[in-house]
Amino acid sequence: MRVCVKLFAAVRDIAGDEKVELEVSSDADISAVRAALIGKWPQLEPYAQFLNFAVNQTYATAATRVAADDEIACIPPVSGG
């Protein structure tokens, strides 16, 4: 299936877009989404372990399953405040 992932800050700058489409298997979880993202942008590889993800605006774990219509976002380490 095809999922859409929102990107922010340095990750968005590297990918050059605020939103990317990734092809993942129909039973994909966040670890599969992460792998697909790194596969598309190998420059992100050193940061892979530091990237969190959110599904439908809630922090997800590596095992969180995703569906094609989920709102998925890649959340690099935050620095608000």
Partner 1 sequence: MASLTHETIDLQSLYDMVATPTAGAIVTFSGVTRELTQGRQTESLDYEAYAEMALAKLTELEQIAKERWPIEKCAVVHRLGHLEIGEASVVVAASSAHREAAFLAAKWLIDTLKEEAPIWKRENWSDGSTEWVHPGLPTGDAP
Binding test (CB under 8 A) with partner 1, winner from 14, 32, 35, 38: 14
Binding test (CB under 8 A) with partner 1, winner from 2, 16, 25, 81: 81
For residues 55, 60, 66, 67, the Cα torsion angle rounded to the nearest 10 degrees is -20
Binding test (CB under 8 A) with partner 1, winner from 16, 26, 46, 69: 46
Asked if 6 is part of the footprint of partner 1 (rule: CB under 8 A), the reply reads yes
Find the shortest distance in angstroms from Cβ 70 to partner 1.
Answer: 13
Rg of the chain in Å (alpha carbons): 12
What is the total count of residues that contact partner 1 (CB under 8 A)? 24
- Burial (CB < 10 A; 0-12, 13-18, 19+), residue 4, is middle
